[in-house]
A and B are shown apart, each in its own frame.
Chain A
Amino acid sequence: MPQLQRREVVITGVGVVNAAVVGASPALGAWLREPRPVARSRAGGGRPAVRLPEGTLAGLIDPDEARRLARVCRLTIAAARFAVAEAGLDPAAGLGIVVGSELGDFTSTIAFADGYLARGPAGLSALLFPNTVMNTMAATTAIAVAARERTLTLNVPTVAGELAIARATAAVASGRADAVLAGGVDELDPLVAEMLDALGDDGVRGEGATFLVLEAERVARARGARVLGRIAGAAWRSLPARPWGVGRGVASRAIAEALAQAGREAPDWLYASASGDATRDAWESRVLSAALGSRRVPSVSLGALIGHHAGLGALHVAAAAWTARVGLLPAIGGGAERVAGGGLVHGLGRGGGHVALIVEAA
Chain B
Amino acid sequence: MRRVLVTGLGAVSPFGAGVKTYWAGLAAGTCAIRPLSLIDATGFRCRIAAEVPDVGAGSARRSRADRLALGAAAEALEDAGLGAADRANAALVVGAVGGGMLEAESWYWARARGERPPRWAASLRAMLPAAHAEALAHRLGLGGPRHTVVTACSSGAVALAEAAELIADGVVDVALAGGVDAVTRMCFMGFNALKLLDPEPCRPFDRDRRGMSIGEGAAFVVLEAAEHARARGVRPHAELAGHGTTTDAYHVTAPQPEGEGMARAMRAALVAGGVAPDAIGYANAHGTATPQNDRIEARAIAQVFGAGRLLVSSTKSMIGHTMAAAGSLEAVATILALTHETIPPTASLLTPDPEVEFDCVPRVARERAVEHAISNSFGFGGQNITLLFRRA
Q: Are these two chains actual partners, yes or no? A: yes
Shortest distance between the CB of B287 and any CB in chain A (Å): 20
Contact A126 B97 (CB under 8 A): no
- Which of B96, B135, B249 lies in contact with A143, CB distance below 8 A? B249
Shortest distance between the CB of A347 and any CB in chain B (Å): 13
Stretch with Cβ within 8 A of A (4 or more), from B121-129, B310-318, B332-340, B357-365: B121-129
B96: which A residues are within 8 A, CB to CB?
155
User: How many B residues touch the partner, as a band?
Assistant: 35 or more
Contact A126 B194 (CB under 8 A): yes
Report the nearest B residue to A132, measured CB to CB. B186
- Give residues of chain A (107-151) contacting chain B, Cβ–Cβ below 8 Å: 109-110, 112-114, 116-117, 120-121, 124-126, 129-130, 132-136, 138-140, 142-143, 146-151
Stretch with Cβ within 8 A of B (4 or more), from A1-9, A218-226, A266-274, A327-335: A1-9
Contact A148 B248 (CB under 8 A): yes
Contact A133 B380 (CB under 8 A): yes
User: How many A residues touch the partner, as a band?
Assistant: 35 or more
Shortest distance between the CB of B185 and any CB in chain A (Å): 8
Whole-angstrom distance between the alpha carbons of A143 and B247 in the complex?
9
Q: Does B383 contact A (CB under 8 A)?
A: yes
Stretch with Cβ within 8 A of B (4 or more), from A230-238, A277-285, A292-300, A311-319: A230-238
Report the nearest A residue to B1, measured CB to CB. A4
Report the nearest B residue to A164, measured CB to CB. B147
B183: which A residues are within 8 A, CB to CB?
none
Contact A124 B252 (CB under 8 A): no
- Give residues of chain B (75-130) contacting chain A, Cβ–Cβ below 8 Å: 92, 96-97, 105, 108-109, 112, 120-121, 124-126, 128-130
Whole-angstrom distance between the alpha carbons of A233 and B96 in the complex?
28
Contact A237 B108 (CB under 8 A): no
Contact A174 B190 (CB under 8 A): no
B383: which A residues are within 8 A, CB to CB?
135, 138-139, 151
- Give residues of chain A (148-201) contacting chain B, Cβ–Cβ below 8 Å: 148-157, 163, 167, 170-171, 174, 176, 195, 198-199
- Which of B133, B172, B189, B381 lies in contact with A124, CB distance below 8 A? B189
Q: Does A35 contact B (CB under 8 A)?
A: no
Whole-angstrom distance between the alpha carbons of A146 and B286 in the complex?
24
Whole-angstrom distance between the alpha carbons of A134 and B151 in the complex?
8
Contact A240 B143 (CB under 8 A): yes
B232: which A residues are within 8 A, CB to CB?
none
- Which of B109, B134, B249, B261 lies in contact with A352, CB distance below 8 A? B134
Contact B152 A133 (CB under 8 A): yes
Whole-angstrom distance between the alpha carbons of A235 and B129 in the complex?
21
Shortest distance between the CB of A246 and any CB in chain B (Å): 12
Whole-angstrom distance between the alpha carbons of A156 and B92 in the complex?
13
- Name, among B124, B141, B194, B252, the residue most crowded by chain A CB atoms within 10 Å (CB to CB): B252
- Which of B189, B191, B261 lies in contact with A148, CB distance below 8 A? B261
Q: Does B19 contact A (CB under 8 A)?
A: no
CB-CB under 8 A for A134 and B193, given A147-B249, A237-B144, A244-B134: no
Contact B124 A199 (CB under 8 A): yes
- Which of A96, A167, A170, A198 lies in contact with B121, CB distance below 8 A? A198
Contact A167 B109 (CB under 8 A): no
Shortest distance between the CB of A189 and any CB in chain B (Å): 13
- B150-194 CB mask vs A (1 if < 8 Å, else 0) is 111000001000100100011111000000000001100111111
Contact B108 A236 (CB under 8 A): no
Contact B246 A134 (CB under 8 A): no
Whole-angstrom distance between the alpha carbons of A167 and B195 in the complex?
36
- B244-256 CB mask vs A (1 if < 8 Å, else 0) is 0111111111000
Shortest distance between the CB of A308 and any CB in chain B (Å): 15
CB-CB under 8 A for A155 and B380, given A1-B170, A124-B190, A241-B138: no
Whole-angstrom distance between the alpha carbons of A315 and B13 in the complex?
41
Contact A237 B145 (CB under 8 A): yes
Q: Does B137 contact A (CB under 8 A)?
A: yes
Q: What 9 A-B pairs come out closest when comparing CB atoms? A: A139-B381, A129-B190, A238-B146, A124-B193, A244-B125, A351-B134, A243-B134, A243-B131, A151-B247
4 further contact pairs, Cβ within 8 A, besides A104-B150, A238-B92:
A113-B185, A121-B189, A155-B149, A243-B126
- A-B CB contact pairs (8 Å), 17 listed: A4-B169, A113-B186, A121-B43, A121-B44, A126-B193, A129-B194, A130-B190, A133-B381, A135-B151, A142-B382, A148-B248, A157-B130, A199-B124, A238-B137, A242-B134, A245-B125, A352-B137
Interface residues of A (CB under 8 A from B): 1-4, 96-97, 102-104, 109-110, 112-114, 116-117, 120-121, 124-126, 129-130, 132-136, 138-140, 142-143, 146-157, 163, 167, 170-171, 174, 176, 195, 198-199, 235-245, 252, 351-353
Interface residues of B (CB under 8 A from A): 1-2, 43-44, 92, 96-97, 105, 108-109, 112, 120-121, 124-126, 128-131, 133-135, 137-138, 141-152, 158, 162, 165, 169-173, 185-186, 189-195, 245-253, 261, 264, 379-383
